[in-house]
A and B are shown apart, each in its own frame.
Chain A
Amino acid sequence: MGQNTITVTDSGFADAIASETPTLVDFWAEWCGPCKVMDGPLNEIAGENSGKLTVAKLNVDENPATMGSYTVMSIPTLILFQGGEEKQRFVGARSKEQLISELADYLQ
């Protein structure tokens, strides 16, 4: 796993997303090929935007409660939180460039 991202779990999830600094949560699983595609880009985005954006990984196999409360029904799903609220959601793998342009409003 990338050294620039953090791991979040069901317990403490609310605290993890409460910050005014946007937190991008990556819902993933070991068996999900397209999720692996996102590892590199997410690690790079986290590294290049440290202080502006936190990138957190949540394993859906191990954290069913969070997956359920945000009705994640397909992975990879990325949800951007700020101040505890869901701001944006991205379903499906995408390139680093695409993700950066979609996140632009939050990376100022």
Chain B
Amino acid sequence: MAEKVLIIGSGPAGLTAAIYAARAELEPLMIEGVERGGQLMITTDVENYPGFSDGIMGPELMEQMRKQAERFGTRIVSSDVTAVDFSEQPFKVSVGSDEYTADSIIISTGASARWLGIEGEARLRGYGVSACATCDGFFFKEKELIVVGGGDTAMEEALFLTKFASKVTIIHRRDEFRASPIMVKRAVNHPNIDIIWDSVVEEVLGDTLVTGALIRNVKTDEVTTFNADGIFIAIGHVPNTKVFDGVLDLDDTGYIVTEPGTPVTSITGVFAAGDVTDKIYRQAVTAAGMGCQAALDAARFLDETT
């Protein structure tokens, strides 16, 4: 028997969709993904999610959402979706060799850190290359670090890393930051943060551990070696849509295209919510809001078709 609603991803969007779908007695099945709980699992304090006046830890918030979804009967499979076939009803979703079918789908696979794709980066991941200061900063006490990027995330990561590192150098390809003025001010004024403008990292250096990076000045083309014990990449996010490529309409940066203000995708009965379709707001509360919309729309769709 086909599921009524199958939800892909377990961040704020997916779990909110699950809460609504479960309460509507649609008995949702959630394929939660390897990164259970989504992006908030790697952050510490969430201070802007309404309802928690003293803030709440990201993992704690996600655990609560998950319990709430389970309380109303959401069933959860802990794996990544590896392939989908939405060409006919019921839709097919594969997890390795297991296949699930469903009358409606809610996609909430979120986004992941973008990597530079340069020599040494993948090889030294976990050996000094990281995209998560809150996860890995601890391992760089009294070390010298590079942060690559120029947005809010880069400023936040650099500031967070000063708790551990003796020196943090932000390397940015332009001569000004895209980050919000308040974050820029904090970073620029910090005694342990240096900034190298107009420069890109061309290679991560190191045999078994990061020892530094090759840096090219984009104005002069001069290449220098910069010594560091770790390099944190904070150059934005890419939506997790690889399995939907060629299946659903995606925009040129890979985000799922929806009808403005709705979770409606290019395929009737398939809905998208959260960071996977949103490159503007990218907040836990907006993702949760879209998850709610997706569940309500899925319920209406099922009502009309069955």
Indicate if the CB atoms of A34 and B138 lie closer than 8 Å. Answer: no
A37 to B208, CA, bound (A): 27
Indicate if the CB atoms of A75 and B34 lie closer than 8 Å. Answer: no
Indicate if the CB atoms of A37 and B41 lie closer than 8 Å. Answer: yes
Interface string of B52-68 (1 = CB under 8 A from A): 00000011001000000
Indicate if the CB atoms of B130 and A33 lie closer than 8 Å. Answer: no
Are A71 and B127 also in contact (CB < 8 A) when A36-B59, A93-B35 are? yes
Q: Which residues of A contact B126 (CB under 8 A)?
A: 73-74, 77, 91-92
Q: Is A29 at the interface (CB under 8 A from chain B)?
A: yes
Q: Is B42 at the interface (CB under 8 A from chain A)?
A: yes
Q: How far is the CB of B218 from chain A (nearest CB, A)?
A: 29
Q: Is A95 at the interface (CB under 8 A from chain B)?
A: yes
Indicate if the CB atoms of B79 and A32 lie closer than 8 Å. Answer: no
Interface string of A66-87 (1 = CB under 8 A from B): 0100011111010000000000
Q: Which residues of B contact A33 (CB under 8 A)?
A: 37, 40-43, 58-59, 62, 135
Chain B contact residues (Cβ within 8 angstroms of A): what range?
20 to 34
Q: How far is the CB of A97 from chain B (nearest CB, A)?
A: 6
A78 to B20, CA, bound (A): 37
A102 to B44, CA, bound (A): 30
Q: Is A52 at the interface (CB under 8 A from chain B)?
A: no
Q: How far is the CB of A2 from chain B (nearest CB, A)?
A: 15
Q: Residue on B with the closest CB to A73?
A: B139
- For A, the interface residue count at a CB cutoff of 8 angstroms equals 26
Q: Which residues of B contact A32 (CB under 8 A)?
A: 135
Q: How far is the CB of A67 from chain B (nearest CB, A)?
A: 8
Residues of B within 8 A of A (CB): 34-37, 40-44, 58-59, 62, 78-80, 96, 125-128, 130, 134-136, 138-140, 208-209, 230
Sample of 15 more A-B contacts, CB < 8 Å, known A33-B37, A73-B130: A31-B134, A33-B62, A34-B41, A34-B135, A36-B41, A67-B139, A71-B209, A73-B128, A73-B136, A73-B139, A73-B230, A75-B135, A92-B125, A93-B36, A98-B34
A-B residue pairs in contact (CB < 8 Å), sample of 23: A29-B138, A31-B134, A32-B135, A34-B135, A36-B59, A37-B34, A37-B36, A41-B78, A60-B138, A71-B127, A71-B208, A72-B139, A73-B127, A73-B209, A73-B230, A74-B136, A74-B139, A77-B126, A93-B35, A94-B34, A95-B34, A96-B78, A98-B34
